[in-house]
Amino acid sequence: MSLLLVSKNRDLKPYKEALLELDPNIEIDIWPGVSNPDRVQFAVAWRHPANLFEKFPNLKVISSLGAGVDHLLSDDTIPESIQFTRIVAPSLSGQMSDYILTAVLNIIRRTDNYLDQQRKTVWKPLDSLKKAEISVGVMGLGQIGSEVAKILVRNGFNVSGWSRTKKTIEGVTCYTKDELGAFLGKINIAICLLPLTPETGGILNLDLFKGLKQPAYLINAARGEHLVEEDLIYALDTDLIHHATLDVFSEEPLPESHPFWGRKKITITPHIASVTDPQESAELILENYKRMLSGMDLLHKVDREAGY
């Protein structure tokens, strides 16, 4: 039996090398170089080509190469009989916490304003936002979102969280699905860490922006499809949103002609908030591969109905 690695935009050789270091006896193919499709029972995928998995009649499990699984759930050619898993690694939570904390600190210390002043050779101290006067809201309180919320609490911020089901996190005021309005009305900085599902697609829209406390800011490190881009441009132009930090986009890489480029009120990073480590991922992939071969329960299984 063999394991297949698939991605349209990621170098998978480090993942193959890490897997073979752990178990040199595994048969591993990297798409499109598949020696025998009939032998593939386990696949690891990130942004896979459409309809690809129809070619593997004995496929049993597909693991996402990251925490997100929307690229699998949106492929309706994958049979319901195939189980989905995802990578849940401690380093992903740590990286995301660092990224979000940095973005929030940049907002309250007005780093982007100072960078703009530097380009213009302007020396002008600006008033910082005070932690006590700013509230931060984390949208999505899964494993990563919960860790981000805890880090923000430990750094002295007023933190609220919003999720589909009720969560209890020390120091965090938690809201559920039906309490979005109350959640938004309490926060200045909206941080999107939601899974991408039919319910959350386009959730970062003009109505949501209007519900935030002023001054309002946006950080999106979840999926580009959460954001209605034209609504953000309008919100920035009308000062409904004072600044946006974006790590994810509907089209990646972000096209050179995209209107987000060159805007002083937008900070762009190239989907680097939380990057899967090949060595750490290999251990998790190998564990689930062996569990599949042994007929054991898989780790970090995805609930297709919930979307994560």
Does 39 participate in catalysis according to the annotation?
A: no
CB 138 within 8 A of CB 162: yes
φ, ψ at 55 (rounded to 5°): -85, 0
DSSP 209-222: HHHSPSS-EEEE-S
- Alpha carbons 64 and 223: distance in angstroms, whole number: 15
Of 223, 226, 242, 243, which one is the catalytic site residue? 223
Count CB-CB contacts under 10 A for residue 277.
17
Does 223 participate in catalysis according to the annotation?
A: yes
Alpha helices in the chain (DSSP H): 13-22, 70-73, 90-108, 111-119, 143-154, 180-186, 206-211, 229-237, 278-294
CB 172 within 8 A of CB 202: no
Question: For residue 111, how far is the Cα from the chain centroid?
Answer: 24
Report cis status (omega within 30 of 0) of the bond before 90. Answer: no
- How buried is residue 130: exposed, middle or buried, by Cβ count under 10 Å (0-12/13-18/19+)? exposed
Of 39, 110, 263, 271, which one is the catalytic site residue? 271
Q: Is 3 helix (H, G, I), strand (E, B) or coil?
A: strand
Alpha-carbon dihedral angle through residues 158, 276, 90, 201, given to the nearest 10 degrees:
40
Residue (of 59, 38, 44) closest to 281 by Cα position? 44
Active centre residues (catalytic): 223, 271
